[in-house]
Every structure is written in structure tokens, then in C-alpha cells.
């Protein structure tokens, strides 16, 4: 479920490892497709791999993916983001014109079933969030929302109106830390060798995130060189290179 660099066969530079979070996201996308009237919300702590999985599945299934940022947090910016995601560039500047163009581009009645993925949805202003859901209801497309669970929770506490909007959504999926199987499969992809090394990956992954686990392995891969496998001493050296503190090696030991 993550993009990982492999040096064993050098083919391609980036591959996809289908871990638990990826499978949960795929199931959520299938439900959103089957029941398009109810948007799906996927949330997790930062670094759990949801963006990588969303982009991979979007490309694999021919789904429109977009990521909300500062330029797209307003209603106008959000509308432009949706229009751009469909491969159409609009020169309109007024919300009314942009809304009409978005409706035209996203109408299931004219273009058939489609899915829109909006990542980092917690970035959207309340008015933009409302307009997004209004468009979804009007046009009938499947909608998958994804965001940072902490920021979503904080925003919902601060704004009861957003809480009411989110309460009308369909399935909600909360992604957790990588499982033992996830850590093992990621380790296999990086050509890790030794039970002690796999135990360390499991311990580290449970206490951190997919992003941190991949970073650790990427550094270890460079330390290993062009041949051979990643072993425990590579992981320890990579850990110290990144964190610089021997006392934090307990993250690898699980203590």
C-alpha cells in the first residue's frame, strides 16, 4: 500500500505493497460505488498510507483523485479543483459559472457513473464542504472523502455545523497502525533478512506509522549497498542516522 524502492531487481523503482489499510480503502471505494448516495469518509493519523493507497486505487480504477490544499479550500477553489480533476480546464472566475461547469462535468446523467476522491478534506472551509456535498447529491457521483482524524475531530468540536454535515455521511473507515503482517510484507519488499530484523520492524511499525517504517527501510537499504539483504545491524544504523539517540532504540526492541 505504499510506494517502495527496490534494489534487488531494479525493476520498477516504485512498487505498491497492498497492506491492510489499502484493502480497507478499496472496500470503502467499492461501497461508495455501489451506494453512491452516501459519501464515504476515510480517516487516520498522519503517515498511515491512505494518500498513497488512494492515489494507487484511483489510477487503477480510473477514478478522479484530488487533494484539497490552501488554493482549493474556498468554495471557488474547491470547484476549480473538481473541474481540473476531470481533465477540463475552466477560465471562469465566478462561483456561479464554476458551479454550472462542475455540474456539467460531474453529472452521472450525461457521463455515466463516476467517483471523485477528495483527500485532505479537513482543509476545506465549511461553505466549500457544503457545496461539495450539494454537488454530489445533485450530480449523483460516488464520493470518497479522506482526511487527518485529529484535525477533523478538532474542527468538528469547534464547528457544530460541520459535525452535522459529517453525521449525514455513509460508511466511515478509521485506519490504524500497520499490522504485523503489513510490517512483514513491507520488509519482504525491501529484502529484509532475519527474525530479529522482522521483529524489530513489527515493533517499530506498531509504535509509529507506515511512513516512518518505509523511511527507516529506505535508509537501511542505502546502508546495505547494491547487493545483499537488509539485516538487523542495517536497521539499527539507519535508526541512529535518522533519530540520533541510542535510548530511542527501544522502538525497535518493543520496550
Q: Are residues 169 and 185 in the same domain?
A: no
CATH number of the domain where residue 145 is located: 3.40.50.300
Residue 14 included in any domain: no
| pLDDT tops 60 at residue 232 | yes
Residue 12 included in any domain: no
Residue 152 included in any domain: yes
Helix, strand and coil percent figures for the chain, each rounded to 5: 60, 10, 30
Q: What is the mean pLDDT of residues 107-121?
A: 88
Tell me what pLDDT residue 3 has: 47
**Structure confidence by residue, pLDDT tens digits, 57-75:** 999 988 999 999 999 999 9
Q: Are residues 53 and 170 in the same domain?
A: yes
Q: Are residues 170 and 247 in the same domain?
A: no
pLDDT band at 21 (very low <50, low <70, confident <90, very high): very high
Residue 146 included in any domain: yes
Residue 13 included in any domain: no
| pLDDT tops 70 at residue 11 | no
Q: What is the mean pLDDT of residues 32-44?
A: 91
Q: Are residues 53 and 114 in the same domain?
A: yes
Domain boundary among 156, 175, 194: 175
SS3 state of residue 244 = coil
Angle at the Cα of 30 from the Cα atoms of 34 and 19, rounded to 5 degrees:
170
Residue 168 phi/psi, 5-degree rounding, is -90, 0
CA distance 211 to 119: 17
Q: Are residues 34 and 121 in the same domain?
A: yes
User: Which residues, other chains included, contact 250 with Cβ-Cβ below 8 Å and sequence gap of 6+?
Assistant: none
Q: What is the mean pLDDT of residues 215-224?
A: 93
pLDDT band at 246 (very low <50, low <70, confident <90, very high): confident
Residue 68 phi/psi, 5-degree rounding, is -75, 135
Q: Are residues 218 and 117 in the same domain?
A: no
| pLDDT tops 80 at residue 150 | no
SS3 readout for 40-103: EEEEECCCCCHHHHHHHHHHHHCCEEEECCHHHCCHHHHHHHHHHHCCCCCCCCCHHHHHHHHH
Q: Are residues 165 and 69 in the same domain?
A: yes
Q: Are residues 184 and 171 in the same domain?
A: no
Residue 248 included in any domain: yes
Inter-residue contact 177 to 48 (CB < 8 Å) = yes
Write down the mean pLDDT value for the chain: 85
Q: Are residues 164 and 197 in the same domain?
A: no
- pLDDT exceeding 70 applies to what percent of the chain? 86
Domain around 79: 20-175
| pLDDT tops 50 at residue 7 | no
Of 2, 84, 6, 9, residue with least CA distance to 51: 2
Greater confidence (110 vs 38) lies with 38
**Which residues are bridge partners to 147 per DSSP?**
43
CATH number of the domain where residue 239 is located: 1.10.8
Residue 113 phi/psi, 5-degree rounding, is -60, 140
The grid coordinates of residue 143 equal 464520493
SS3 state of residue 119 = strand
Residue 193 phi/psi, 5-degree rounding, is -130, 140
- How many structural domains does the chain have? 2
Amino acid at each position: 500500500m505504499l510506494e517502495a524502492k527496490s534494489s534487488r531487481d531494479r525493476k520498477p523503482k516504485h512498487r505498491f505493497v497492498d497492506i491492510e489499510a489499502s484493502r480497507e480503502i478499496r472496500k470503502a471505494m467499492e461501497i461508495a460505488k455501489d451506494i453512491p448516495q452516501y459519501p464515504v469518509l476515510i480517516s487516520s493519523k498522519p503517515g498511515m498510507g491512505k494518500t498513497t493507497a488512494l492515489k494507487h486505487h484511483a489510477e487503477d480504477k480510473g477514478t478522479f483523485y484530488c487533494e484539497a490544499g490552501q488554493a482549493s479550500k474556498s468554495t471557488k477553489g474547491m470547484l476549480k479543483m473538481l473541474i481540473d480533476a476531470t481533465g477540463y480546464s475552466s477560465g471562469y472566475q465566478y462561483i456561479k459559472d464554476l458551479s454550472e461547469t462542475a455540474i456539467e462535468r460531474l453529472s452521472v446523467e450525461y457521463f455515466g457513473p463516476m467517483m471523485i476522491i477528495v483527500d485532505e478534506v479537513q482543509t476545506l472551509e465549511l461553505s466549500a464542504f457544503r457545496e461539495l456535498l450539494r454537488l454530489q447529491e445533485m450530480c449523483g457521483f460516488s464520493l470518497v472523502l479522506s482526511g487527518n482524524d485529529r484535525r477533523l475531530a478538532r474542527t468538528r468540536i469547534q464547528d457544530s455545523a460541520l459535525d452535522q454535515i459529517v453525521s449525514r455521511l455513509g460508511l466511515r473507515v478509521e485506519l490504524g497502525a500497520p499490522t504485523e503482517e503489513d510490517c512483514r510484507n513491507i520488509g519482504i519488499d525491501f529484502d529484509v533478512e532475519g527474525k530479529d530484523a522482522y521483529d524489530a520492524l513489527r515493533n517499530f511499525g506498531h509504535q509509529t506509522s507506515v511512513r516512518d517504517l518505509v523511511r527507516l527501510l529506505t535508509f537501511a537499504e542505502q546502508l546495505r549497498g547494491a547487493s545483499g539483504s537488509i539485516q538487523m545491524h542495517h536497521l539499527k544504523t539507519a535508526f541512529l542516522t535518522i533519530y540520533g539517540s541510542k535510548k530511542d532504540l527501544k522502538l525497535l526492541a518493543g520496550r
